[in-house]
Every structure is written in C-alpha cells, then in structure tokens.
Amino acid sequence: MRSPVTLRRAEESDAEALVELWGAVMRKADPQELLGDVLRIIDGCRSNDDSRIVVAEYDGEVAGSVYLRTTTITPVNLEPVVQAIHPHVAPRFQGRGVGRALMDAAVTYAEDHGIAHVASAALAGSRDANRFFARLALGPMATLRLAPTAVIRAKLSVGSRHAVGVRPSRQLSQVLAARRSLRGSRNGAPESV
C-alpha cells in the first residue's frame, strides 16, 4: 500500500502554511512580516545547495515541514552534520507517519551529501517530540540556553561584585554559613562551624 505522505521542496506558495507550522518558533512580528521572513528563507534555500525546506503533504494537504542545513557540529568541531531544523507536523496529521517521513528526508539529504550525522532539536518542554527523537536514536548532545541580552547584562553586573580576587562581604559569608548549617542538620549530620 502506498503511503499518503509525499515530500517535496518548498515553494513560494507554501509560505502561509510554513508560517502556520513554524509560527511558535519564529520571531514575534505581525503575520505579514513573518510571511516576508518565510519567503526570504525559501528564496535563500533555492539559491543554496547547503539548505533545503522539505514540505510533507498528506493526501495533497501540507501536513508538515523541516528545514535542512549542512554545516558542522559546532564552529570548533568541524565534523559535518545535517541539521533538521524545526521538523513540525500539524496537529491534525500527527501519528500518520509525517514526522518519520520528514526525518527520512533528513537522512536521505545527509546520505546525498556524504554526511555521517544528523542532528535535530526539540523544545525543552515538548515531551512528545523528545520521545520521537529518542526512538530514532537521536540522543542529547547539548542544552541550548537563551535569554535576552539585557537580562544577561543585568545578571553579569550583579555578579561582578563577586569577581575573582574580590572577597565576598561578611553578610554573604554569614548567609552561606547558615545554609551549610541547615543542610547539615537536614541530612542528619552534625552542624559544622
């Protein structure tokens, strides 16, 4: 029996469907700006053999997509890898083999480029996506963390008081000693002085 899932390269006419699929992971902007972003991404893939957007159709309807890119594992680990970025299946098509077809496209793309590794990522809170990747033998390699630049700057500014070579204040020393004391009493160990 032939699968109702077919794969093809994304075209400009897919832009609205891609905004719907990827909207949750795109920048915060109005729908027209997001449409423009996706059109630029599609155009960029058309002129570059190192990237491709694959669209999955289920009985003729757009059911999912994935952005494929050849790169290196990291800028300092030059092992080639195909990144399957934001593989996403529309909720009403989940459980019908669309996700497997998208990841098959990633593996085929890697094989076509002579690349031995495929990487992907799922949102930290997406249990279903993480389980799906685990079933396909994709294991965790790193945790990507993200915060606004201004927030990190504020945290670094607060933390700079405790820079190397600067002695913590007496008050901080007392707080740390109190914490150690509480931890010791909770664990049944004698309090340290």
Q: Identify the pLDDT of residue 131.
A: 94
Q: Identify the pLDDT of residue 51.
A: 97
Which of 179, 177, 6 shows the shortest CA–CA distance to 102? 6
Rg of the chain, C-alpha, whole Å: 24
Q: Which residue has the tokens 């893939």?
A: 45
Q: Identify the pLDDT of residue 192.
A: 44
- In a domain, residue 141? The reply is no
Distance (Å, rounded) from C-alpha 90 to C-alpha 66?
Answer: 12
Q: Identify the pLDDT of residue 180.
A: 77
Choosing from 108, 135, 162, the residue where a domain stops is: 135
143 and 130 Cβ atoms separated by less than 8 Å: no
Q: Identify the pLDDT of residue 193.
A: 41
Q: Identify the pLDDT of residue 5.
A: 96
Distance (Å, rounded) from C-alpha 166 to C-alpha 85?
Answer: 44
Q: Which residues of the chain have pLDDT under 70?
A: 1-2, 159-170, 184-193
Do 156 and 127 fall into the same domain?
no
Do 60 and 131 fall into the same domain?
yes
- In a domain, residue 144? The reply is no
Do 182 and 131 fall into the same domain?
no
- The pTM of this model reads 0.78
Q: Which residue has the tokens 């201004």?
A: 150
- In a domain, residue 191? The reply is no
Q: Which residue has the tokens 């449409």?
A: 35
Collapsing DSSP states into helix, strand and coil, what is residue 69? strand
Q: Identify the pLDDT of residue 172.
A: 74
Q: What residues contact 63, with CB distance under 8 A and at least 6 apart?
A: 5, 56, 57, 89, 90, 93, 96, 98
The residue ranges of DSSP E strands in the chain, in sequence order, are 5-9, 51-58, 61-72, 80-89, 118-120
